[in-house]
Amino acid sequence: MSAPTTYRQPISRLWWTKKRTYFLFVMRELSSVFVAWFAVFLMVMLIAIGRSEAAYQSFLNWAALPVVVIVNLVALAFLVLHTVTWFALTPQAMEVRIGGRKVARVKMVRVAGKTVPAATVVRIGGRRVPPGMVIASQYAGLIVVSAFITWLVLR
């Protein structure tokens, strides 16, 4: 038996800089780094709050350092990109069938190493819910959650 001789063209490590859509795809996937950053940031804050008022104050002094503020500004940009792209993908990647039938899969999208069917249709009571409505309802959820957290923290 001979070894497989199929030629696999090597892919450059910088393949994602070659096209705008590839670049945006990688930026979207990179948003996870800022998800992790902010989870750690929150944990440091929680440790400080759990300790004492003085510890919380020194956390605030650290968080107000220009470099930390800049990282958080960049994080905000990436997290907004995550929110927008995630909401846009949801009606595509989701498969909700309430009183409906299975729907033809039109195209595939790739998220975090997994290829998922796109253009899946959400049906409620057999009626098709337009993807725009799915996206809009997510933004409504975002607004409600944001308002609630702001109220909880600042009241």
CB of 102 to other proteins, least distance (A): 20
Alpha-carbon distance of 146 to 5, in angstroms, equals 56
69 sits near other proteins (criterion: CB under 8 A): yes
Applying CB under 8 A, the site for other proteins has a residue count of 57
Are 92 and 119 in contact by the 8 Å Cβ rule? The answer is: yes
Residues numbered 74-93 forming contacts with other proteins, rule: CB under 8 A: 75-76, 79-80, 82-83, 86-87, 93
Please give the Cα distance from 118 to 132 (Å, whole number): 14
Rounded Cα distance between 55 and 47, Å, is 9
Distances (CA, A) of 105 to 101, 109, 116, 122, 143: 12, 11, 10, 13, 31
Q: How far is the CB of 126 from other proteins (least distance, A)?
A: 26
Q: 18 to 57, contacts with other proteins by CB under 8 A?
A: 26, 29-33, 35-36, 38-43, 45-47, 49-50, 53, 56-57
Closest CA to 109 of 119, 118, 100: 118
Stretch that binds other proteins, among 98-106, 108-116, 122-130 (CB under 8 A): 108-116
Query: Would strands 122-124 and 97-98 be described as parallel, antiparallel, or unpaired?
Result: parallel
C-alpha 79/C-alpha 72 separation (Å) is: 10
Instruction: Give whichever of 5 and 12 is closer to other proteins, judged by the CB atom.
Output: 12
Positions that interact with other proteins (CB under 8 A): 11-13, 15-16, 26, 29-33, 35-36, 38-43, 45-47, 49-50, 53, 56-57, 60, 63-64, 68-69, 72-73, 75-76, 79-80, 82-83, 86-87, 93, 112-114, 138, 141-142, 145-146, 149-150, 152-155
